[in-house]
């Protein structure tokens, strides 16, 4: 109880410090002060037609605000005050980044420490020039006299469709920055890599009703579907009820099976090397798939998969359930990690599940 309260108060203290430099009224960046201003007030000096004026927020640098001087998109930045965990972080960054590349904005700024700059995860800090795109600032700011950014734009201000080639270019540009140099070679196509979500789905510090995960039969059906050379399970802790049964199932088939549960950074390196990946439900694996230069096939359960920005050359195989029993008991925004739900995850039969193998995008 005391530890929970301590984490709560430390979290509030961290948010208070962050709000001192980035809030709805002003932003401090690169030793410069930016004040919020309405888009409509800058017609003629700023290309306001590129943004959603209803939800748009712009923060003009002090001095620029006073002079009402004209400026172009190269001196503008999309501004992110903070990001969530890995999956949600990339899902937040990707669409505005794609639109920034499409519109020709000069900068994308992610303020403060995030999962992208945390040395225990992605460990990327600094100013990175994206190929054919903006400069990406990760927990880094310019010196007072060399700040090129005149306006910061709220990320939700950028709207509209992005061409398919720009979407692919966005993944490639971000992969160039974020992927570790010591990643290693891709796994063999006959190595099945399974990711089991743990943590907040099984009694972590957060408790969300939409965190229900697929049944054991989803994984066994995929394992039966092909002659795999080995199975590698990457998991978060050991709280999930499907982990041990998957290992036992592989043992009965005399199929080599190994497991890994390390730091988020180390687990990411392993998942990024998979050619064939089995996803649970959530935002984590879709972003791994988007970043990866290895993955070619992904198995998903029902509709629990969606890339923040589309990427070609990925074959997505879907397992669907002809019965509503599991859906109603576990996946109807009603996950509570109860004994009956956990038991159903292990006991749910394969005979109502159908595996649909996707065609290659170019076939």
**pLDDT tens track for 289-323:** 989 999 999 999 987 677 766 777 788 899 999 99
Determine the distance from the C-alpha atom of residue 251 to the mean position of all C-alpha atoms in its chain, rounded to a whole number. 33
Q: Where in the chain is CATH 3.40.50?
A: 191-356
Q: Which two tokens stand for residue 132?
A: 């054919």
Please give the model's pTM, rounded to 2 decimal places. Answer: 0.84
Q: Give the model confidence (pLDDT) of 130-142 as tens digits.
A: 988 899 999 999 9
How are the residues of the chain apportioned to helix, strand and coil, as percentages rounded to the nearest 5?
A: 35, 20, 45
Measured distance CA(244)–CA(238) in Å, rounded: 9
Structure tokens at 193: 């890599």
Distance CA 300, CA 250 (A): 20
Domain 191-356 has CATH 1.10.3470: no
Please give the radius of gyration of the chain, using alpha carbons only, rounded to the nearest integer.
23
pLDDT in tens, the chain (363 residues): 455 445 444 455 556 667 777 787 888 998 889 888 776 555 555 666 666 655 557 787 876 655 555 667 888 899 887 788 888 888 888 888 998 998 889 999 998 888 899 988 888 999 999 988 899 999 999 998 889 998 888 877 777 788 888 888 898 888 999 988 888 899 999 999 999 987 666 665 555 787 889 999 999 999 999 999 999 999 988 888 999 999 999 999 999 999 999 998 999 999 999 999 999 988 889 999 989 999 999 999 987 677 766 777 788 899 999 999 999 999 998 988 899 999 999 999 999 999 987 754 443
- At 362, list the tokens: 């170019």
Name the nearest CA neighbour of 222 among 156, 301, 163, 321: 301
What's the count of helices (H) and strands (E) in the chain, helices before strands?
10, 15
Structure tokens at 273: 């090397």
User: Which helix (DSSP H) or strand (DSSP E) does residue 86 occupy?
Assistant: helix 86-103
- 195-231 pLDDT per residue, tens: 998 766 666 555 578 788 999 999 999 999 999 999 9
């Amino acid at each position: 109880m005391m530890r929970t309260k301590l984490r709560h108060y430390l979290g509030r203290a961290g948010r208070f410090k962050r709000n001192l430099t980035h809030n709805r009224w002003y932003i401090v960046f690169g030793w410069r002060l930016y004040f919020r201003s309405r888009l409509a007030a800058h017609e003629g000096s700023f290309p306001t037609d590129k943004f959603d004026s209803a939800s748009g927020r712009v923060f003009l640098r002090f001095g620029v605000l006073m002079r009402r001087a004209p400026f172009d998109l190269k001196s503008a930045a999309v501004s992110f005050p903070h990001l969530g965990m890995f999956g949600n972080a990339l899902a937040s960054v990707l669409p505005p980044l794609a639109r920034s590349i499409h519109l020709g904005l000069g900068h994308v700024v992610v303020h403060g420490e995030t999962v992208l700059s945390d040395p225990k995860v992605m460990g990327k800090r600094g100013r990175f020039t994206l190929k054919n795109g903006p400069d990406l600032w990760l927990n880094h700011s310019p010196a007072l006299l060399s700040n090129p950014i005149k306006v910061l734009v709220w990320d939700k201000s950028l709207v509209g469709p992005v061409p398919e080639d720009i979407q692919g270019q966005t993944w490639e540009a971000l992969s160039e920055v974020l992927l570790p140099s010591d990643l290693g070679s891709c796994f063999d196509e006959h190595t099945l890599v399974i990711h089991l979500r743990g943590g907040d789905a099984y009694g972590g510090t957060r408790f969300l009703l939409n965190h229900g995960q697929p049944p054991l039969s989803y994984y066994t059906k995929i394992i039966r579907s092909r002659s795999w050379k080995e199975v590698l399970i990457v998991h978060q802790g050991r709280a999930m009820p499907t982990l041990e049964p998957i290992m036992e199932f592989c043992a009965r088939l005399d199929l080599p099976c190994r497991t890994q549960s390390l730091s988020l950074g180390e687990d990411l390196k392993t998942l990024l090397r998979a050619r064939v990946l089995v996803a649970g439900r959530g935002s984590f694996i879709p972003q791994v798939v988007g970043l990866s230069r290895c993955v070619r096939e992904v198995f998903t359960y029902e509709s629990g998969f969606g890339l923040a920005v589309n990427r070609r050359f990925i074959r997505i195989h879907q397992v669907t359930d002809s019965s509503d029993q599991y859906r109603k008991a576990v996946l109807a925004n009603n996950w509570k990690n109860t004994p009956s739900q956990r038991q159903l995850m292990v006991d749910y039969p394969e005979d109502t599940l159908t595996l649909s193998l996707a065609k290659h995008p170019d076939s």
